[in-house]
Amino acid sequence: MAIFKSIAAIAACGAAAANAAAFQPRQYKTLVSSPALIDTLHIDNLFKRAEKLQEIAYATPGKNRVIGSPGHEATVAYIQSQLDTNYYDVTLQGVQLSVGINATLTANNKAIQAYATTLAPAGNVTGPLAVIPNLGCEEADFTAALTGKVALIKRGTCSFGIKVQLAAAHGASAVIATNNAEGTLEGYSLQVFPDPAKPFVPTVGITLGQGESLLAQIGAGVNITVALTSVAKLATTYNVIAETKEGDHDNVIHVSGHSDSVTAGPGINDNGSGTCSLLEIATQLTKFAVKNAVRFSWWTAEEAGLLGAEYYVKQLSQAEKDKIRLLLDFDMMASPNFAYQIYDGDGSAFNLTGPVGSAEAEHEFAAYFDSIGLNHTEIEFDGRSDYGPFLEAGIAAGGIAGGAEGIKTQEEFEMFGGGAGVPYDVNYHEDGDTVNNLNLEAWIEFSKAIAHMTAKYALSWDSIPPKNATAARKRSEKYGHMKEAFQKTKRYQRWV
Ligand SMILES: *[C@@H]1O[C@H](CO)[C@@H](O)[C@H](O)[C@H]1NC(C)=O
Ligand SMILES: *[C@@H]1O[C@H](CO)[C@@H](O)[C@H](O)[C@H]1NC(C)=O
Ligand SMILES: *[C@@H]1O[C@H](CO)[C@@H](O)[C@H](O)[C@H]1NC(C)=O
Ligand SMILES: *[C@@H]1O[C@H](CO)[C@@H](O)[C@H](O)[C@H]1NC(C)=O
Ligand SMILES: *[C@@H]1O[C@H](CO)[C@@H](O)[C@H](O)[C@H]1NC(C)=O
Ligand SMILES: *[C@@H]1O[C@H](CO)[C@@H](O)[C@H](O)[C@H]1NC(C)=O
Ligand SMILES: CC(=O)N[C@H]1CO[C@H](CO)[C@@H](O)[C@@H]1O
């Protein structure tokens, strides 16, 4: 599944530069501090990076940075090119995925526009259409034998991977996914890695309206035969990981964001803003010495189901997991109608508590915003972004965000300005998510907050309780139960 390559080893000119550096007198750097690192951040530098990402997206046929696309490959190369290999050990961790390219579908010889679903295999299938009752998340939804048939399943409640595995186990030769909201399922993913014991079958996605039309025909007693082709390509997509050469590698502060966008647009707030904030901080940090190692990661395939981060956490040994004292994750740093939202690590607002250390991280963010006189609010610590797999592994986590498709309340309007009753980001997952729609005021404040946290923990872990494997495991089990409860909420169902 994975291909590791260390970029330190590749270029001859890289080696020459390293030799030249060896002849220089050793540079003694000032120890990092929160005010000094914050001082290095300027909005025009962040904005230039956002423009670069947009340029990368617009130079490609799809005008996006979705995994498996030239736009995402160029994003990864850009991140890599910006990291100083005298200061960081940089690793590209490859994750292999089957990416959907295109599809054709006919029902009783009438063509329907369909999209190949990422992670599902390619194939050409013909067979009678069978409607799966409910949402196809439970064994009980699969009563009739599906041998030789194509299953029609609605989106919602559980990841599509679970539905497709169940359909395949009951003999279905392919699946048609119908959307549960407006829009196409272009770029949609099964959201879970294939399991050799529970294989997937070819899957294509259609709109809500197209699905309803098929259901109406079947309801009227018409037998439908469908023919579908689905084209996929095996793509290796990369997590970029950079860790300071200096510092205590047994007590790491891990700071992350994701590098991919959705299919609909260049993804500049979601989550190019996080990508750029981290890149700028990683660049500025090289001016300083650190006591604790700082690890930056840019995850791949977040939009396809947090796959890059999940893969990363899965392949870590327990000993390696124990070395991560805190994971901080950043997305949506420049939402036009922002609120300064902090993940509810102590469970005080949403009753979902993170592993030991998560509460302290939340309090530190709050103290930072208080210190500069900015209001802040809390958001559910629900695992909806790349910190999710870390929580499940019992690793303390935290983060901040400006908001996605949620609606700003009157109370938040009084705290942050902007517009009440309007989404935090009207362009969330749309083609309007461009450099023109960033809130620069929020972006620089968020970036400074990231710099504060990075510097604080690069200096000392005194304010975070020591790791306790027993306690971590207990928390992790508890998180598992909380997650089940969360998965029944409306918020989750709009996401899967
Ligand atoms: C699907 O993609 C492949 C590879 O890019 C291309 O050769 C083929 O023509 C496409 N088929 C359709 C139906 O668009
Ligand atoms: C589907 O059919 C096309 C053309 O008939 C063929 O090129 C392709 O290899 C087939 N795909 C699979 C997965 O069998
Ligand atoms: C639909 O198919 C079933 C079983 O194959 C068959 O019994 C039935 O007569 C068909 N109905 C129509 C309207 O063709
Ligand atoms: C918080 O969640 C726990 C389960 O994790 C539940 O037992 C408890 O009743 C919840 N408390 C509130 C105030 O909702
Ligand atoms: C913070 O929120 C209060 C309302 O709760 C508001 O009066 C105040 O102006 C806000 N402060 C800032 C800096 O926006
Ligand atoms: C670790 O946590 C467990 C359970 O909360 C507790 O019983 C134990 O004393 C703790 N161990 C240390 C070394 O703090
Ligand atoms: C899928 C998606 O929208 N990506 C993430 C971008 O950032 C927000 C805020 O953290 C996350 O909620 C999203 O999951």
Q: Which of 429, 425, 443 lies closest to 494 in space, CA to CA?
A: 429
How many Å lie between the centroid of ligand 6 and the Cα of residue 469? 8
DSSP state of 151: E
* Same domain as 217, residue 192: yes
Quote the domain boundaries for residue 119.
98-235
Residues 469-488, mean pLDDT to the nearest whole number: 60
> What integer pLDDT is reported at residue 22 of this predicted model?
47
Q: Of the spans 69-78, 226-235, 294-303, which averages the highest pLDDT? A: 226-235
Residues 418-426, mean pLDDT to the nearest whole number: 81
Relative to the CA of 417, which ligand 5 atom is closest? 14
What are the pocket residues of ligand 4 if the criterion is a CB atom closer than 6 Å to any ligand atom? 351, 481-482
62 CA to centre of own chain: 20
230-250 per-position pLDDT tens digit: 999 998 888 999 999 999 999
Residue 206 is assigned to a structural domain of this protein: yes
> What integer pLDDT is reported at residue 94 of this predicted model?
93
What confidence tier does 422 reach under pLDDT thresholds 50, 70, 90?
Answer: confident
* Same domain as 249, residue 104: no
Q: Residue for token digits 């036009």?
A: 336
> What integer pLDDT is reported at residue 223 of this predicted model?
96
pLDDT score of 421 more than 90: no
* Same domain as 139, residue 109: yes
Residue 285: CATH number of its domain: 3.40.630.10
Residue whose Cα lies nearest atom 6 of ligand 4: it is 351
Residue 404 is assigned to a structural domain of this protein: yes
* Same domain as 194, residue 277: no
3-state secondary structure of 325: strand
How many Å lie between the centroid of ligand 4 and the Cα of residue 67? 38
> What integer pLDDT is reported at residue 12 of this predicted model?
31
> What integer pLDDT is reported at residue 411 of this predicted model?
92
* Same domain as 253, residue 398: yes
Residue whose Cα lies nearest atom 2 of ligand 2: it is 124
End of a domain among 217, 235, 253?
235
Relative to the CA of 104, which ligand 1 atom is closest? 13
Relative to the CA of 223, which ligand 3 atom is closest? 1
Probe ligand 2: pick from 124, 173, 233, max atoms within 8 Å of CB?
124
> What integer pLDDT is reported at residue 482 of this predicted model?
60
Omega prior to 271 cis, within 30 of 0 = yes
Residue whose Cα lies nearest atom 11 of ligand 6: it is 468
Copy the structure tokens of residue 108: 């009783």
Which pairs from 133-137 meet CB under 8 Å and 24+ separation?
Answer: 135/163, 136/163, 136/166, 136/167, 137/162, 137/163, 137/166
How many Å lie between the centroid of ligand 7 and the Cα of residue 334? 12
End of a domain among 170, 202, 235?
235
* Same domain as 316, residue 191: no
> What integer pLDDT is reported at residue 1 of this predicted model?
31
* Same domain as 120, residue 189: yes
> What integer pLDDT is reported at residue 484 of this predicted model?
64
**295 torsion bin: left (phi>0), alpha (psi -120 to 50), beta (else):** beta
Residue 5 is assigned to a structural domain of this protein: no
20-69 per-position pLDDT tens digit: 444 544 568 999 999 999 999 999 999 899 888 888 878 877 666 777 77
* Same domain as 250, residue 135: no
How many Å lie between the centroid of ligand 7 and the Cα of residue 386? 8
Q: Which of 287, 350, 308, 266 lies closest to 29 in space, CA to CA?
A: 287
Statement: the pTM of the whole predicted model exceeds 0.75: yes
pLDDT score of 464 more than 70: yes
280 is catalytic: no
pLDDT score of 431 more than 70: no
- Whether ligand 1 lies within 6 angstroms of the CB of 101 is answered as yes
What gap in Å lies between CA 402 and CA 416, rounded to an integer? 11
* Same domain as 106, residue 56: no
What residues are paired with 204 via a beta bridge?
116, 176
What gap in Å lies between CA 59 and CA 38, rounded to an integer? 33
Ligand nearest, relative to CA of residue 114: 1
In 146-207, which residue ranges form alpha helices assigned H by DSSP? 160-169
How many Å lie between the centroid of ligand 5 and the Cα of residue 378? 15
Residue 127: CATH number of its domain: 3.50.30.30
Residue whose Cα lies nearest atom 2 of ligand 5: it is 415
Q: Are strands 88-107 and 4-6 parallel, antiparallel or unpaired?
A: antiparallel
Relative to the CA of 386, which ligand 7 atom is closest? 14
How many Å lie between the centroid of ligand 1 and the Cα of residue 233? 11
pLDDT score of 356 more than 90: no
Per the structure, how many domains does the chain have?
A: 2
Probe ligand 6: pick from 468, 473, 475, max atoms within 8 Å of CB?
468
Q: For the chain, what percent of residues have pLDDT higher than 70?
A: 83
Copy the structure tokens of residue 483: 């997650």
Ligand nearest, relative to CA of residue 149: 3
DSSP state of 423: B
